[in-house]
Amino acid sequence: MSHTDHNNNSMFKITLNLTMAAFLAGIIIGVVFFFTYEKAEEQKKLQKELSMKELVPDAAIFVPIEGKHEWFRAEKDDKTLAYLLLAEQKGFDGHIKMFVAVTPDKKVIGYKVLSHKETPGLGDVAFKPKFASQFTGKGIENMELVKIQEEGKILAITGATITSRAVTAAVKHVLVEVDAYLTQGPAAGDTGVHTETKNEHK
Amino acid sequence: MNLWKEFTKGLVAENPIFRLALSLCPALAVTSNVYNALGMGVTVLFVITCNNIVVSAFRNVIHPKVRVPVYIMSIATIVTVAMLTLEAYLPVLFRELGIYLPLVVVFAIILARAEVFAAKNSVIPSMIDGLGMGVGFTIGMVTIGAIREIIGNGSFFGYQILGSWYHPPLIIILAPGGFIVIGFIIGVMNLNEKRKKDKSEKAEMAAGGTI
Amino acid sequence: MTEYFLLFMSAAIVNNFVLTRYLGLCIFFGVSKNYHASTSMGLAIISIITLSSMITWVIEHFILLPLGLYFLKTIVFVVVIAVFVQLLEMVIKKFMPTLYNVWGIYLLLVATNCVILGVPLINSEANFTFIKSTVNALGSGTGFAIALILFASLREKLQFSDVPKSLDGLPIAFILAGMLALAFQGFSGMIPL
Amino acid sequence: MLRRIKGGVHPHDEKKSTDDKKIAVLPLPKKLFVPVHQHIGQPSVPVVKAGDEVKKGQLIAESADGRGTPVHSPTSGKVTEIGNYPHPLYGKSPCVVIESDGLDQWQEGLLTDRSWEVLSAAEMIDIIFKNGIVGMGGAAFPTHIKLSPPKDKKIDTLIVNAAECEPYLTSDYRTMIEYADDVIKGTQIVMKILGVQKGFIGIENNKPKAISLMKEKCKGKKIEVVELETKYPQGAEKMMIKAILDKEVPSGKLPMDVGCAVQNVGSLKAVADAVEKNIPLIERVVTVTGRTVKNPVNVMAKVGTPFTELFDFCGGFRGANGKIIMGGPMMGMAQVSLDAVVVKATSGIVSIADNEVDLKEELACIRCGRCIDVCTMRLLPNVLSILSEKGQHQTAQTDYNLMDCVECGCCYYVCPSRRNIVHYIRQSKAKNAMLRNAIKTGSK
Amino acid sequence: METKETTANIQKPEKLVITSSPHVHNTESVTKIMWIVNLTLLPAAIFSVINFGLPALITMLLCIAGSAACEAAIQYWRKVKVTVSDGSAVLTGLLLAMCLPAGIAWYVPVIASVAAIGIAKHTMGGLGHNVFNPAHIGRAFVMASYPVAMTTWAVSRIGNSADFAGAMGKVADFDVVTGATPLGILKQQGYQALVDSFGGQSAMYKALFIGNTGGSLGETSAILLILGGLVLVIKKYIKWQVPVVMIGTVALFTWIFGGKVDGKLVYFTGDPVLHILSGGLIIGAFFMATDMVTTPLTTQGQVLFAFGCGLITVLIRLYGGYPEGVCYSILLMNALTPLIDRYIFPKKFGSLPEPVTRS
Amino acid sequence: MLLQTAIYAVLAMIGLGLIFGFFISFANRKWAVEVDPRIHEVDEVLPKGQCGGCGYPGCMAYAEAVVTNPDVPPNLCAPGKEAVAQKVAEITGKKAVALETKIAFVRCSGTYGKAIRTGVYKGVKDCVSANILVGGDKGCTYGCLGYGTCVKVCMFDALKMSPEGIPVVNPDKCTGCGKCVTVCPRNIITLVKPEIMVKVNCNSRDKGAIVRKHCQAGCIGCGMCAKSCPYGAIVIDNFLAIVDHNICLEKCSDPVCMIKCPTKVLRPAIWGTVPGFEVKEEKV
Ligand SMILES: Cc1cc2nc3c(=O)[nH]c(=O)nc-3n(C[C@H](O)[C@H](O)[C@H](O)COP(=O)(O)O)c2cc1C
Ligand SMILES: Cc1cc2nc3c(=O)[nH]c(=O)nc-3n(C[C@H](O)[C@H](O)[C@H](O)COP(=O)(O)O)c2cc1C
Ligand SMILES: Cc1cc2nc3c(=O)[nH]c(=O)nc-3n(C[C@H](O)[C@H](O)[C@H](O)COP(=O)(O)O)c2cc1C
Ligand SMILES: Cc1cc2nc3c(=O)[nH]c(=O)nc-3n(C[C@H](O)[C@H](O)[C@H](O)CO)c2cc1C
Ligand code: SF4
Ligand code: SF4
Ligand code: SF4
Ligand code: SF4
Ligand code: FES
């Protein structure tokens, strides 16, 4: 670049130059933000509903539960079909974040993983139907991980016991929470289902 | 100025990933499948082209002392706009690209093209340069993504193309495999180049040329 | 205390930036040709990462979040870091020329790099406290430096090897990095965070 | 007490075939090719020309710069030519060709009979210089220089190097057995010149006869005979000093820096001859041996005698020859031609059979570290060889102490990859020297 | 050369060979070393075939053939001398097989061999140039690729049969019974469960020592491996310090930190014997941490290397995701080797302080 | 609410620009350090990828090195490619040194077929190494040993070992750096002007008879060329023809010397002809 003109080096000019650039950037971003924000929010909600819908296809709406973080009630025709809770559990490598759906009579419907860092092909088998379907319809008394097939229990994945245990623990925890909530009222239990203490999101 | 040449140089001869060795992070991080690779490639293509246009358009009013901050600001603005848009309209891709999306800002190739090319050329060639580099980048990403996905997962764009007889070595889609695959791709490129060079040298010798 | 220690070790070794998270690769491959350069670079990275993650934390938590400007995070972080590093470089060059020669020249190189921007973004994503983000940054930087120095020493050793012509240079560096990453897999699952 | 060094190797010593062979006298060759370059330093300058008549012991070449050594005619006859002929160390080098007249007549004024005890140190150094004495342990360093250390270097110990650690060679051993008195006398002379009170004779314990003989001769003479473990390179002077005095000569320094002087037994015999009888160094004991030599011998050979004559004296060869080595098999120089001649540093000529020549291919270093374990100079021979291979000769010198290597060859001896480590090291040294010269003379 | 007129009448040799000094050499060579190491591994290899039956033999042959063929192919392609006969590729193959479970699907050993020879060894230039232990790279490669297969261990036949003869009778049997390795059980179910599975502590030690447990081929015959290793020590092919330090470090740290009572760490209650005899530590310490190509040059450096291997092994075993850790610890220390070599080298001659005996 | 946030964003950005603009301009004024202006010039032309690919920790560092250190070549920047190298060379004046008018010339014709070897050399494949072993295996002690030390040392790929065992110079690539001259243990390579007419392809100062014994292609010092040259441009020194190229270039248009030379060691200076080349007699 040929800008070696020394008169050009005044503090004012430099500052102005940068400020103008920042101003333009601010305007552009501000405008785009203004026009996309609502759509994005909508999308976010939609995404969440989609995953919840996958778990409880029959539900018409998902109502956030008062005073609880990321708890939802799946309703249809004013009837509670299920409770959906966001659970987080330490897995083989990192935390597994998943939605767990539980019927009002405290049986598992299923779970859907939102994010995880388990090994592909090993740990993530636990999120595939073959393993996940074991939970369907089971209650808290069945939430026990075994390594050899046993009636009514959860059979661990060979080579991924840790992940299996994490998933089982998360589901069990949700069952406990829901149980407490239903039997003792809204004040009981955590505000969120997290077995690890972790700072909550904004 | 030959615009076609400006465009094609980025494809192979000055491929940003394999030849210039710039922007290596996305080349590894988001190439475990073709879909993500393509998404990232197109994002970068978009950003680099826009930024080249912006920089070349404003090149005469930007003070040299604040050049780098201003360029970065321009890139960041474009990226932010892209992010906001993706979030609103392609949320799935937005989530897949994860932390790498904001990091597009610092992919060396974008700043490098701004400095090397856009800052010295007018708008049209800069745009072509950006497109070429972006396409080259995308080609690189997709190549890596395809190889990794096919070998490491037996699939292509998510479709299982190798039968169930194929037991993919998972490592190819994990970190170490990514490094190794890229290493071999560049190796094969070098090999081709060397073959060509050897051939031309031999031809030279046969023609009673300089050696 | 243990928590911070584990966070540090996790960032430095178990979830090593270069080898498991693929950040900062341009520097990693660019600078590791030379052992001494890589030691200086390691120092530069550690200090810049830590300082910039401290600054960005403050900006995020006292300006951006209160005003609801989370979407400006990227642009603000990157500009702040770039300018901060530029200023730091000038100051060191002016007032500590000897320090500048061993260390300062690496500063500008890292200013606009994934790893420097990546850590503040990760901190912000994980919503770390100030201390935690500082520890995380320190660990990440240290991890980067460790990987860089190890890798540089390996590459210097490779200069004496008989690497096939077409693999010489960047390709073998990648393959070597792959093997290093394979070795680092040994730490996987050690500290889940 | 047996003294040892750390590191080193144990090659088979192969000394059986010659160690009981008396030193024979070689028949007078018809032509002698006396090289004017027989010591470390500048070549000497011939002072005779073609056609001149010379007598045995007559000066035929003079030191060029006063630091080298003069060369003397080994026999009487006529100078036919001064030309380039094969030299066992330098390829081709100027030689004074003398056609023998068969009379072997001494020049006048030599063969005196004087006692060293009446001469002063300075006189004796002059005599040693004039008679062209160089170190006969292999390095051919001018002895008069070694015996005139700078004023600030105080030498307090003389070590006689009688280790003869090289396999095959027995010339020093035979010298000790047959010229024991001369060796002791030489030792006493050098001790007087250097003004030292303490002398040691270091002998490896595979030569018990020499040890007992020397012990007997040294009685009451302030000279102590030290038995050394048989281990190559025990005879290297730094190792000798380490084993006997437990002192280490620092890198780049000389024995005199730790107050020592080391002399080979052959050199001492030559010193005694020069000082007492005024005989210049014109002949030496040479071991001619090897599996393909019909009758291995120790022989008193004149400087300038072609190797062919020596082998002829041994009755020729049996079987095909692979290599001819001047010196021992560990440090000797392989010869391209049998036309090379005996020089002052020729302690032996070893012939190695065709099938003994080790032609296993060199492989990459497998980093086994054996070379490091045996290197008595505590270097990293493998690293040096690799640096040399990759052309980083300067790094070898600045970072890996290239110049400390004494080229003993232990590293090659043990290297399972058969790396030519010594050759690589010598290449580095040579290239660095070339570079230094180029810089000194200004680049072209 | 001009011929000199001399009186000599001997026949001059045709053309002499010229090389630099020295002109003699001892009898060692790379080929000899490699084949002898192969030999010392042979008893343990044979035992593993007895123990796990034909599947073990097949795994072994696949690894060896795969390594050798890969080396030959690459060298042929690169137009350099094919050096399969030097035994180093065979050794890599054999050692690789010793790290794999018996009867694993055929492609796993093949891919592992290609990774070992093709990626770890020949991208760097072949024997002597590689920085990582090829066998371990091969193993780590398939470990990450086929984690399920790689953690499905064959169970000892000798352990399952009442007696040795019973096991011999079943050698030709193709079936593999799978189960957990001792360290796997330890990691998953705790120490007590492990001891119980053997029926007592001394029974466990005995089984481990003789090789009567499940695991990879080379994990199960401690005594034969130790014997083989001793031969190498005596032949000076390896330095005794390396296995001693590595095993010692593992023993010390597992003793201190390895014990849990009711799930809580109690110092000095670990079981070092268990850790020494299982998880491939013996073969790692004697045959792999001693691979000269990938370890430091000097003895001091090697001791440091061995210590590092031991430490990382314990870290991985006690806190990591893998039940054993020898493979990764050696790979990680391989990566540290150039640094060790940079800072640990012999003190140069003459640097000792001068003795003050001068008057 | 949304609008408010958007306005905040603009304001924040303006603030950012103001503050940092001020900082930078302030720093620029107070803390700027004087440096060689060429460093900046070089830095300007470099791509600023800050990739470190040149082996220096960044573009600026390379710029500094290439300006201040004469040994640093101007072509290390891979992203910049040739164009940048060209510009860097212009600014630093480096090409000028490299484009010196002289190029290397190998003074030996002793190819495998023509010159005998007296021993079997089994050492390190390097001319210096061979030379320290009693002068190596080549009969002629002046001749090229053919182990290619010069080829290895040439950084510009200008020397190639011909199949006949004598290195050949590629004049287009040779920069006349003289590295090969320094390293040849036999002093066979010299630097000459590229335009010279005849070259003496031998370095032997042995007598004719000895030369003949070792090599069919060597200069035997017969003096035919010297006698035939009408301008006295050739003298015989120690049995070797020495040509004064300046006289040739100035006066001669018809080099008869080459026709007269019995061993054809005197050949036209057509660069790149492989040793063993036969002079075509019809047209000189
Ligand atoms: C590369 C690798 C990745 C692994 N990833 C997981 C994982 O994601 N989840 C898991 O539970 N175990 C994982 N493991 C296995 C654990 O280390 C442990 O061996 C396993 O959980 C034991 O299960 P098992 O008792 O069923 O064999 C992994 C192992 C390896 C070698
Ligand atoms: C050319 C070729 C390559 C193959 N490569 C693999 C491979 O890499 N991995 C694999 O698991 N099977 C591979 N197979 C398939 C195997 O031959 C075999 O079908 C498979 O291992 C059967 O295992 P399964 O019973 O677990 O499906 C390959 C087959 C062919 C013909
Ligand atoms: C490796 C090596 C081995 C040596 N072996 C002997 C030896 O056996 N006998 C000997 O007299 N000199 C030997 N020397 C030479 C001595 O180092 C030293 O130069 C010599 O003893 C000095 O005596 P001089 O000047 O009388 O020759 C050897 C040198 C080296 C480097
Ligand atoms: C004592 C000894 C141990 C060895 N250990 C290994 C090993 O663990 N893994 C391996 O691939 N090769 C090993 N080798 C063989 C050889 O060194 C190996 O193929 C090289 O690493 C390949 O360059 C060993 C060789 C010896 C002599
Ligand atoms: S490096 Fe030199 S001193 Fe050391 S063993 Fe080799 S030749 Fe001897
Ligand atoms: S003895 Fe040979 S193979 Fe072993 S380290 Fe030394 S040079 Fe390398
Ligand atoms: S010219 Fe010199 S350096 Fe080149 S090959 Fe011939 S002898 Fe060797
Ligand atoms: S080394 Fe230099 S002078 Fe010699 S050929 Fe190469 S470029 Fe020319
Ligand atoms: S450092 Fe991450 S893209 Fe370059």
In this predicted model, what pLDDT tens digit does every residue of D234-270 receive, in sequence order?
A: 999 999 999 999 999 998 899 999 999 999 999 999 9
Of the listed ranges A62-76, C70-84, D32-46, F67-81, the least confidently predicted one is F67-81
Query: Is E206 near chain C, with CB under 8 Å?
Result: no
Residues in chain B closer than 8 A to F47 (CB atoms):
112, 115-116
Residues D164 and D191 in one domain: yes
B29 lies within 8 A of chain C by CB: yes
- Of the three residues D334, D357, D380, the one that is the final residue of a domain is D357
Which of B124, A82, C173 minimizes the C-alpha distance to E124? C173
Q: What is the ipTM of this complex?
A: 0.86
How many angstroms is it from D435 CA to the middle of ligand 5?
Answer: 23
Q: Which residue of F has its CA nearest to E2?
A: F210
Query: What's the gap in Å between the CA of F96 and the closest CA on chain A?
Result: 25
Residue contact C63–F12, C-beta within 8 A: yes
Convert the pLDDT of each residue in D213-240 to its tens digit: 999 999 988 999 999 999 999 999 999 9
Cα distance from N-terminal residue to C-terminal residue, chain A: 45
| Any domain includes D425 | yes
Whether chain C has a CB inside 8 Å of the CB on E344: the answer is no
User: Which residue puts its alpha carbon closest to atom 18 of ligand 4?
Assistant: E88
Comparing D347-361, E91-105, E239-253, which segment has the lowest mean pLDDT? D347-361
Question: CATH 1.10.15.40 occupies which residues in chain F?
Answer: 38-92
Q: Angle at the Cα of D24 (from D22 to D28), degrees rounded to 5?
A: 175
pLDDT at F245: 87
B210 vs F172: CB contact, 8 Å cut-off? Answer: yes
pLDDT in tens, D279-311: 999 999 999 999 899 999 999 999 999 999 999
Rounded CA gap, F135 and F141, in Å? 7
Residue F102 binned pLDDT confidence (cut-offs 50, 70, 90): confident
A199 touches chain C (CB under 8 A): yes
The pLDDT value recorded for residue B211 is: 30
List, as ranges, residues 33-72 from E with C-beta within 8 Å of A. Answer: none
What mean pLDDT comes out for the span E111-116? 97
Instruction: Name the domain boundary from D326, D357, D388.
Output: D357
Residue B45 scores a pLDDT above 60: yes
Instruction: Calculate the average pLDDT of chain B.
Output: 86
Q: Is E321 on the interface with A (CB under 8 A)?
A: yes
Q: Compute the half-sphere exposure of residue E256: CA atoms within 13 Å on the CB side of its CA.
A: 8
Could you report the per-residue pLDDT of C85-124, keeping only the tens digit for each?
A: 888 888 888 887 777 776 666 676 677 778 888 899 889 8
Render pLDDT for C135-146 as a digit per residue (tens, 0 to 9). 999 999 999 999
Chain C positions contacting chain E at CB under 8 Å are 35, 149-150, 153-154, 156-158, 160-164, 167, 172, 175-176, 178-180, 182-191
In a domain, A35, yes or no: yes
Q: How far apart are CA A28 and CA B81, in angstroms?
A: 8
- The pLDDT of residue C112 is 73
**pLDDT tens for each residue of F114-167:** 899 988 898 899 999 999 998 888 989 899 999 999 999 887 778 888 888 888
**Any CB–CB contact under 8 A between B88 and chain F?**
no
Range scoring the smallest mean pLDDT among C11-20, D197-206, E113-122: C11-20
Decide if F129 and D89 are in contact by the 8 Å CB cutoff. Answer: no
Q: Which two tokens stand for residue D189?
A: 């002379």
**Bond into D416 cis (ω within 30):** no
CA distances (Å), origin C75, targets B30, B199, C81, C118, F159: 22, 50, 10, 13, 53
Of C72, C79, C128, the CB nearest to A29: C72
- Alpha helices per DSSP H over D331-420: 370-374, 381-389, 393-400, 410-414
**pLDDT score of F281 more than 50:** no
Question: Best residue in F7, F11, F13 to probe A by mutation, most A CBs within 10 Å?
Answer: F13
Specify the pLDDT at position F93: 77
d(CA E324, CA D444): 64
Q: What is the mean pLDDT of residues E224-228?
A: 94
pLDDT score, position C102: 65
pLDDT at B22 exceeding the cut of 60 = yes
**Does residue E24 form part of some domain?**
no
A94 interfacial to chain E (CB closer than 8 Å): no
pLDDT in tens, E268-308: 888 999 999 988 899 999 999 999 999 999 999 999 999 99
- Domain of D6? 1-25+113-357
Ligand 2 center–CA A163 separation, angstroms = 28
Q: Per residue in F225-247, pLDDT tens?
A: 999 988 889 999 889 999 998 88
Are D338 and D379 found together in one domain?
no
For ligand 8, whether the C-beta of F192 sits within 6 Å is: no
Q: Are residues A98 and A181 in the same domain?
A: yes
Does residue A93 sit in the same domain as residue A173? yes
Stretches where chain A sits below pLDDT 70 are: 1-9, 120-121, 159, 186-202
As a whole-number percent, the residues of chain D with pLDDT over 90 amount to 80
Does F55 sit within 8 Å of C26, measured CB to CB? no
Tokens of D298: 């120790």
Q: Inter-chain contact C82–B177, Cβ cutoff 8 Å?
A: no
The answer to whether the CB of D417 is under 6 A from ligand 6 is yes
User: What pLDDT is recorded for position F278?
Assistant: 40
For the Cβ of C27 lying below 6 angstroms from any atom of ligand 9, the answer is yes
F49 pLDDT band (50/70/90 cuts)? low
Helices E88-98, E54-77: crossing angle, 10 deg rounding: 140
Which chain B residues contact residue E105 at CB under 8 A? 167
Q: What pLDDT sits at residue D109?
A: 83
Phi/psi of residue D367, nearest 5 degrees: 60, 35
Per-position b or e across D366-387, b if 16+ CB within 10 A of its CB: bbbbbbbbbbbbbbbbbbbbbb
| Chain A / chain C CB contacts < 8 angstroms | 25
Mean pLDDT of the E147-161 span: 73
Residue E96 has pLDDT above 70, yes or no: yes
Query: Which pLDDT belongs to residue D401?
Result: 93
Q: Encode pLDDT of C154-174 as tens digits.
A: 999 998 999 999 999 899 999
* Position with higher pLDDT, E165 vs E263: E263
Residues D147 and D278 in one domain: yes
Chain F within 8 Å of A22 (Cβ-Cβ)?
Answer: yes
Any idea what the CATH number is for the domain that residue D190 is in? Answer: 3.40.50.11540
| Band (F96; pLDDT cuts 50, 70, 90) | very low
Q: Domain tally for chain E? A: 2
Residue E9 has pLDDT above 70, yes or no: no
Residue E159: the pLDDT is 59
- Show the tokens assigned to D335: 């010869």
pLDDT at E324 over 60: yes
pLDDT at B98: 67
In this prediction, residue F54 carries a pLDDT of 62
| Range A68-86 burial, b when 16+ CB lie within 10 A, else e | bebbbbbbeeeeebbbbbb
Q: Name the residue with higher pLDDT: F254 or B46.
A: B46
Ligand nearest to the CA of E135: 4
Range scoring the smallest mean pLDDT among D344-348, D356-360, F38-42: D356-360
Determine the residue of chain A that is closest to C83 in CA distance.
A18
Residue D82 inside a domain? The answer is: no
Q: Ligand 3 mean position to E41 CA, how many Å?
A: 45
Q: Looking at residues D102-120, what average pLDDT do you find?
A: 89
Whether D272 and D335 share a structural domain: yes
pLDDT at E312: 96
Residue A107 and residue A48 share a domain: no
Tell me the residue range of the domain where E302 lies.
238-342
Going by alpha carbons, the residue nearest to atom 1 of ligand 9 is: C24
Chains touching chain F through at least 3 C-beta pairs below 8 angstroms are A, B, C, D, E
Q: What angle do CA C23, C19, B18 make, to 5 degrees?
A: 65
Please judge whether D364 and C162 are an interchain contact, meaning their C-beta atoms are less than 8 angstroms apart.
yes
How large is the C-alpha radius of gyration of chain E? Answer: 24
Number of domains in chain A: 2
Measure the CA–CA gap between E208 and E200, rounded to whole angstroms. Answer: 12
Q: What is the pLDDT of residue D428?
A: 96
Please determine, for residue D176, whether its predicted confidence score (pLDDT) is greater than 50: yes
The response to whether residue E120 sits with its C-beta less than 6 Å from ligand 4 reads no
Number of domains in chain D: 2
The residue ranking higher by pLDDT, E325 or D443, is: E325
Question: Rounded distance, CA C89 to CA C92, Å?
Answer: 5
- Chain D residue numbers with beta carbons less than 8 Å from the beta carbon of C160 are 386-387, 390
Whether A84 and A182 share a structural domain: yes
Lowest mean pLDDT among C97-106, E210-219, F65-74, F149-158: C97-106
Same domain, D138 and D221: yes
Number of CB pairs, chain C paired with chain F, less than 8 A apart: 75
> Atom of ligand 7 at shortest distance to CA of F159?
4
- Given this model, what pLDDT does residue B103 score? 78
Q: Is the CB of B166 under 6 A from ligand 2?
A: yes
- Tens-place pLDDT, residues A156-190: 887 677 889 899 999 999 999 888 888 877 665 55
CA-closest candidate to residue C135, choices C146, C149, C117, C122? C122
Please report residues of B whose CB lies closer than 8 A to that of F21. 66
pLDDT at D34 over 50: yes
| Domain covering F38-92, topology | 3-methyladenine DNA Glycosylase II; Chain A, domain 3 (1.10.15)
Asked if the structure places residue E320 within a domain, the reply is yes
Mean pLDDT score across all residues of chain E:
87
When pLDDT is cut at 50, 70 and 90, the band that residue B210 belongs to is: very low
CB of E193 less than 8 A from some CB of A: no
What's residue E165's pLDDT?
58
pLDDT, tens digit, 9 for 90 and up, residues C14-65:
888 888 878 888 889 888 888 988 888 888 889 889 999 999 999 999 999 9
Using the predicted structure, report yes or no on whether residue E6 has a pLDDT greater than 60.
no
Q: In chain B, what residues touch E122 (CB-CB under 8 Å)?
A: none
Provide the number of CB pairs (under 8 Å) joining chain B to chain C. Answer: 130
Residues E52, E56, E58, CA angle at the centre, nearest 5°? Answer: 150
Asked whether E280 and E219 are in contact (CB, 8 A), the reply is yes
C77 interfacial to chain A (CB closer than 8 Å): no
Expressed as residue numbers, the domain containing A24 is 1-55
Statement: residue E162 has pLDDT above 90:
no
Higher pLDDT, A195 or F52: F52
Residue E173 is predicted with a pLDDT of: 62
Task: Evaluate whether residue E227 is within a structural domain.
Answer: no
From 3.40.50.620, 3.30.70.20, 3.30.460.80, 3.40.50.2300, which CATH number describes the F103-274 domain?
3.30.70.20
Same-domain check for residues A117 and A36: no
Please indicate whether residue D377, judged by its CB atom, sits closer than 6 Å to ligand 5: yes
Per cent of chain B over pLDDT 90 is 35
Q: Is residue D145 part of a domain?
A: yes
Cβ contact (<8 Å) for A158 and E188?
Answer: no
Q: Identify which has the larger pLDDT, E260 or A141.
A: A141
* A75 and A17 in a common domain: no
How far, in Å, from the CA of D403 to the mean position of ligand 5?
10
Residue of E9, E24, E33 to mutate when probing chain D, most D C-beta within 10 A: E24
* pLDDT computed for residue D70 by the predictor: 95
